[in-house]
Amino acid sequence: MMRLSIGNEWEESAVCKSVDPDLWFPDAGEFKQEPITICMDCPVRRECLTLAFEERHEHGIWGGTIASERAPLLANYIRRGKHDRERVIENLLMQTRKKTEKNLAARLATKNRRLAKQKELEIKNAG
């Protein structure tokens, strides 16, 4: 498996360092929750997202965000000073965490409903 390496000291702490880098660069129009979920608990998520803005990465998942989440904020990020740039990053980190938690909760609720129906059928078929 090839490892994603961009030459930053912090990348040694990245959760993604041992995962297939293709996961972070899905085909156009393809969306996968798995890499975003992996990013949520990464200790260097902020550094990764900052890099995406600083180097204007238009593709891939960086810091738990997809390109369409970063794109509307890029011009605003570029115009701002260091302190305000940090605020842009912090806001996006919080927004994506909330969105991911909501998606995960919805998937869990769906799974629980499916399991409840399955249990209901098992009880009905046993009786």
Considering the entire predicted model, what is its pTM? 0.67
Of 15, 9, 18, nearest to 42 (Cα)? 15
Q: What confidence tens digit (pLDDT) does each residue in 32-88 have?
A: 888 888 998 899 999 999 999 999 998 899 999 988 888 888 887 877 776 788 888
Residue with tokens 């990020």: 77
Q: What confidence tens digit (pLDDT) does each residue in 32-45 have?
A: 888 888 998 899 99
- Is 16 exposed, middle or buried (CB count within 10 Å of its CB: 0-12, 13-18, 19+)? buried
The full set of domain ranges for the chain reads 9-96
pLDDT of residue 44: 94
* Cα dihedral 61, 67, 70, 74 sign: positive
Note the residue count of the chain. Answer: 127
